[in-house]
């Protein structure tokens, strides 16, 4: 947004929290980073120990742990105990949303032992894993085998359970859909303690389709079988600058992976990986990647970039060089490419450590990066947390591909947040209408990127301090999020539930479809055992009274019919 177009806002008077945030890097450097590094190392040793066990031993331990969960659930007295939730501490979750429901009365079930890769089945091309397995752990196991999950979320600490019950995306999602779309089967412990395996074509098919986005409110996920794909050792990545107005940037992004002739399933026309970063209202860089063999990458004249080394420039800043350098190509080791945004947490690292991107810091201390998000949350306190909710934006806007330009204009006008991350994903037309679903009749329009079986959507990732905050001006973050949510509802968009939301219950169910979810809540006994997904996502503290009301309520889906398109 140019200075002439920017709204005139009054200056905001600084308070003590502003100064604490400004100098928070002291705590991060001397406390968070050393502890994070130690935890990463200890976790790695635990993973190695687990990997050395035989399949039978890991499966035996898994079965024993499942029986402990079943036994714990059966100990619960519905008339005396609170609603069921995991024993994981609230600050451990990776995300901005307050996990305040755990502050009310609840019945804890410990799932901390479920963090093992149980099996890599080459014949079925399936990885069977437990819910606390994270992306760094599984890529470390699969990539040396020239295998990978079809969708590998960028940040190492993101877990399988979080990506299934919540939201997961990667640069390959324009081919495979969201993380949950690559799951073949779920092992779920239901409210009554029964253990079921849900697939898309067995007797629990309704539960299979209802699990994604449900936030663990239908049952406890104890393992998942996830699709594997064959890969090569390197990613051949092309950086292409795009210059123009916002609509030009959006069209350049769309053209980078969506053939104008509609041949979206042709591997010769569609890259394996896609992402675009918008650096300003007039500049962006589109990146497209295809898998490449070691032999191809090491041919004379090719550039190999080991972006995973601790002293390397942060990836988003490296990509920005294309704006001056012009289009260029390089080869990145595949696993390092998968986790390219981990070390700097996209660009949030710049706010946490203002000098963290400097060459001297990278060289001397870059090996300590990144700080664990859970520790950042644990050391921020209530006042800091509220400050970030009001003065910071960490949101993903999921919008139809043809509305990306409109979404970018909205973000520029209302929030002025840059860089912006763009990542496409398919939203499939499924046998059952799930919580998130494509626009009715989308296949009739034959828009760029769409197919007969899936509508192409885009994640517009908005992460950083808004322009007014950086300029010291007044900014109402709560009202901005409300306007964003209203815009999403009006444009058939969705907001992942890890983020801070201002939606009331009626508007929550205008954004999402409640039909299948509520059907499964009743059918599988979740009502009165697990709180509803809205209640779990709701902002603010949950009182004892609210918990009791949620236990007694027979959920009414009438509100979900308001402004909902027909099937």
Q: Is 511 or 79 the better-scoring residue by pLDDT?
A: 511
Q: How far apart are CA 477 and CA 473, in angstroms?
A: 12
**How confident is the model at residue 562, as a pLDDT?**
40
Q: Does residue 122 have a pLDDT over 90?
A: yes
**How confident is the model at residue 92, as a pLDDT?**
56
Q: Does residue 410 have a pLDDT over 90?
A: yes
**How confident is the model at residue 149, as a pLDDT?**
97
Q: Does residue 35 have a pLDDT over 60?
A: yes
- Span 415-439, pLDDT tens digits: 999 999 999 999 999 999 999 999 9
Q: Dihedrals φ, ψ of 417, to 5°? A: -105, 125
**How confident is the model at residue 384, as a pLDDT?**
79
| Number of H-type helices and E-type strands within the chain | 24, 15
Q: Average of pLDDT values for 393-399?
A: 94
Longest Cα–Cα distance in the chain: 72
**How confident is the model at residue 141, as a pLDDT?**
95
Q: pTM of the prediction?
A: 0.91
* Tokens 């029964």 belong to residue: 194
Helix (H) or strand (E) holding 106: strand 106-109
Q: Average of pLDDT values for 236-261?
A: 97
Q: Does residue 564 have a pLDDT over 50?
A: no
Q: Which has the minimum average pLDDT: 96-100, 131-135, 278-282, 340-344?
A: 96-100
Average per-residue pLDDT for the chain: 90
- Span 139-167, pLDDT tens digits: 999 999 999 999 999 899 999 999 999 99
- Span 500-536, pLDDT tens digits: 889 988 999 999 999 999 999 999 999 888 888 988 8
Mind giving me the DSSP string for 446-490? --TT--SSEEEEEEEEEEE--HHHHTTB---HHHHHHHHHHHHHH
| Local confidence band at 104 (pLDDT 50, 70, 90 cut-offs) | low
Q: Dihedrals φ, ψ of 445, to 5°? A: -85, -20
Cβ(435)–Cβ(280) under 8 Å? no
Q: How far apart are CA 511 and CA 350, in angstroms?
A: 33
**How confident is the model at residue 541, as a pLDDT?**
56
Cβ(169)–Cβ(459) under 8 Å? yes
230-236-238 Cα angle (round to 5): 135
CATH fold of 53-228: 3.30.465
- Span 251-293, pLDDT tens digits: 999 999 999 999 999 999 999 999 999 999 999 999 999 999 9
Residue ranges of domains in the chain: 53-228, 232-339, 384-492
Q: Average of pLDDT values for 400-410?
A: 98
Q: Does residue 360 have a pLDDT over 90?
A: yes
b/e 517-548 (16+ beta carbons within 10 angstroms → b): bbebbeebbbbbbbbbbbbbbbeeebeeebbe
Q: Average of pLDDT values for 220-247?
A: 98
Counting residues of the chain whose pLDDT is more than 70, the rounded percentage is: 90
- Span 11-29, pLDDT tens digits: 888 888 888 888 889 999 9
Q: Does residue 545 have a pLDDT over 80?
A: no
Task: Write out the two tokens for 525.
Answer: 């006994």
Q: Does residue 554 have a pLDDT over 50?
A: no
Cβ(272)–Cβ(173) under 8 Å? no
Q: Dihedrals φ, ψ of 191, to 5°? A: -60, -30
* Tokens 């979206």 belong to residue: 264
Q: Average of pLDDT values for 106-131?
A: 94
3-state secondary structure of 235: strand
């Amino acid at each position: 947004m140019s200075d002439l177009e920017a709204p005139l806002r009054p200056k905001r008077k600084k308070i003590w929290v502003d100064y604490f945030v400004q100098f928070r890097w002291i705590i991060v450097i001397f406390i968070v980073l050393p502890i994070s590094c130690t935890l990463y190392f200890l976790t790695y040793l635990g993973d190695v120990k687990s990997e050395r066990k035989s399949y039978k031993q890991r499966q035996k331990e898994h079965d024993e742990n499942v029986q402990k969960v079943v036994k714990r659930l059966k100990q619960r007295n519905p008339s005396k105990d609170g609603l069921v939730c995991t024993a994981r501490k609230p600050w451990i979750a990776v995300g901005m949303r307050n996990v305040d429901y755990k502050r009310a009365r609840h019945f804890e079930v410990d799932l901390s032992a479920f963090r093992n890769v149980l099996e890599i089945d080459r014949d079925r091309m399936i990885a069977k894993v437990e819910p606390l397995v994270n992306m760094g752990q599984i890529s470390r196991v699969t990539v040396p085998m020239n295998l990978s999950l079809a969708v590998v979320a960028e940040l190492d600490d993101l877990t399988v359970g979080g990506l299934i019950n919540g939201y997961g995306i990667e640069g390959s999602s324009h081919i495979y859909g969201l993380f949950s779309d690559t799951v073949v089967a779920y092992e779920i412990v239901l409210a009554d303690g029964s253990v079921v395996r849900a697939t898309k074509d067995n007797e629990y098919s309704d539960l299979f389709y209802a699990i994604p986005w449900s936030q663990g409110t239908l049952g406890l996920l104890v393992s998942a079988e996830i699709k594997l794909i064959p890969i090569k050792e390197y990613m051949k990545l092309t950086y292409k600058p795009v210059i123009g107005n916002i609509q030009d940037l959006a069209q350049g992004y769309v053209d980078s992976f969506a053939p104008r002739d509609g041949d979206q399933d042709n591997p010769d026309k569609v890259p394996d990986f896609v992402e675009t970063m918008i650096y300003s209202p007039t500049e962006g860089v589109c990146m497209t990647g295809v898998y490449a063999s070691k032999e191809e990458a090491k041919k004379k004249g090719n550039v190999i970039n080991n972006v995973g080394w601790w002293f390397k420039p942060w990836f988003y800043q490296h990509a920005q060089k294309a704006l001056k350098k012009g289009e260029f190509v390089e080869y990145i080791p595949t696993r390092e490419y998968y986790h390219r945004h981990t070390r700097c947490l996209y660009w949030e690292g710049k706010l946490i450590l203002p000098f963290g991107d400097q060459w001297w810091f990278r060289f001397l201390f870059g090996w300590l990066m990144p700080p664990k998000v859970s520790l950042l949350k644990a050391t921020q306190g209530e006042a800091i947390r509220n400050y970030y909710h009001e003065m910071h934006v960490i949101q993903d806007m999921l919008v139809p591909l043809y509305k990306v330009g409109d979404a970018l204009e909205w973000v520029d006008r209302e929030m002025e947040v840059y860089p912006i991350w763009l990542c496409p994903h398919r939203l499939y037309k499924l046998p059952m209408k799930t919580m998130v679903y494509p626009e009715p009749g989308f296949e009739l329009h034959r828009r760029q990127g769409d197919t007969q079986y899936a509508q192409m959507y885009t994640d517009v990732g908005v992460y950083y301090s808004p322009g007014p905050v950086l300029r010291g001006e007044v900014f109402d973050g709560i009202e901005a999020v409300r306007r964003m949510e209203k815009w999403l509802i009006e444009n058939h968009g969705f907001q992942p539930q890890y983020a801070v939301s201002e939606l009331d219950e009626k508007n929550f169910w205008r954004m999402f479809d409640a039909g299948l979810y509520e059907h499964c809540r009743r059918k599988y006994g979740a009502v009165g055992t697990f709180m509803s997904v809205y209640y779990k996502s709701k902002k603010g503290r949950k009182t004892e009274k609210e918990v009791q009301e949620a236990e007694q309520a027979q959920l009414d889906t009438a509100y979900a019919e308001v402004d909902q398109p027909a099937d």
